[in-house]
Amino acid sequence: MRRTLDIEALAPGGEGVARDEGRSIFVPFTAPGDRVEASVPAGGGTAHAELLRVLSAGPARIPPPCRHFAIPEAVSPPAGPGDVPHDRWCGGCEWLHLAYPVQLAQKSRALEETLRRIGRLEPGSYVLRPVLSSPQPLRYRSRAKFHFDRESGRLAFFRRRSHQPVRLRECHLLEEGLDGLREAAGPALRDARLAPREVTLVWSAHAGRGAAWLQLADLGPAVRQRAESLLQAVPALQGLVLSADGHPPARVGEPVLLQERVPGDPAGGLSRSRPDVFQQANRAANAVLTRAALSLLAPEGEDALELFCGSGNFTVPLAGCARSVAAVELQGPALDLAHLDVREAPGAASGPGGAAAPARCEVRFYAGDALKMAQALARERGPAAPRFGRALLDPPREGAKGIGPVLRDLHVPRAVYVSCDPATLARDLKGCVAAGFRVAEVQPVDMFPQTHHVEAVALLVR
């Protein structure tokens, strides 16, 4: 049924919230202060509505710059050449219509509420620092995952809550180089007669080139020949990683890219990326995140344990100030990249037994499950048992359930937890408090402008 609604606030998941006859109604692509017309499901209780029209705009609303971000209102951007209705309502952005300061304030509120509701951490029991903004609210992504639309030969995102492709002709989240690579890659994949299920593109502004990960149905000789022709057709592609179920990944060209740790500052050091290995998509905000995490950790002169080290995002910066680093990650290409980055860092030297050491810091890598390895280290006894003055962990979205007792048994006095998911962070911090730690500070960082997602760094003190 059609209803006229006044949007009062934003929900933690990014939708606008209105009240209608006692019901809470969630409406996507709306802003506080908007008056909208929406299609609301019949019945009682909470409902998710479909936005039909914006009747009047609230003070937080701004005109979205992208043709694919459709808002049914007079200020919506005009359709571009070749646009059709189903190439709008893109699910890549949620808040392209919201002023950036409003986005930041909402992320801080949502994080605080999640920590209170799930973690039982009351506001005021810890210091919530002001959210650190992304250096670029637009054009910030150096990597992105796409779907390949065979019919049009274009890379696509899906429409919101749908598997209907939005065949992209622009994306204002992507760095200019990555957006250009996206535009070239779709037609080139069709011409090469490749039909990947998913395509991940990575761009290096430092190298001026990119790499791709193609998830395919098979990896036969004909597929590899077509992949070679794809590289020849797209000069901006430096290399490919090809994967298919039941086959080890295959490399074509050189898919490992050198990236500046601080974009625009090569003197700040380089790191390696590969399209099939997770790394932060917002490299400028990642530099902000790294500084914030190390500032809270205060690892100078300490023996540090790094859990979930991945491809070494924090390892080299941590090694620049700690006395030693024990870094743990599952065996695989991410750990290989971390080894190389540490070994080739300025002033680095190789240590025995797989260790790599910058001149003033020994870095030793452990291949295995991070929590199990940490538990094993905690069980060691005697004068030679490892003890750590600091711990840093950066787990995947599912978090690190049970980390509190592990840090307690390791006798770590100070730890930093980096999280991309407030819900699992809140759950795990609750467990850390039960294990004898205090949550001293929490630092939100905006890694994904134009979406509701927020990164957080939490400082734990025994």
Catalytic residues, which ones? Answer: 420
Query: Under a CB-based contact definition with an 8 Å cutoff, are residues 326 and 366 in contact?
Result: yes
- Provide the 3-class DSSP secondary structure of residue 222: helix
CA distance 227 to 125: 55
Handedness of CA 97, 143, 391, 389 (dihedral sign): negative
Q: What are phi and psi of 86, to 5 degrees?
A: -80, 0
Neighbours of 62 (CB within 10 A): 16
Please, which contacts does 215-220 make with residues 24 or more away whose CB atoms are closer than 8 Å?
215/243, 215/244, 216/242, 216/243, 216/244, 217/244, 218/244, 218/247, 219/243, 219/244, 219/247, 219/250
Query: Under a CB-based contact definition with an 8 Å cutoff, are residues 14 and 27 in contact?
Result: no
Query: Under a CB-based contact definition with an 8 Å cutoff, are residues 202 and 143 in contact?
Result: yes
CA distance 44 to 167: 37
Q: Roughly how many angstroms between the first and final C-alpha of the chain, as a whole number?
A: 55
CA nearest neighbour of 223 among 210, 235, 240, 206: 240
Please, which contacts does 343-347 make with residues 24 or more away whose CB atoms are closer than 8 Å?
345/269, 345/316, 345/319, 346/269
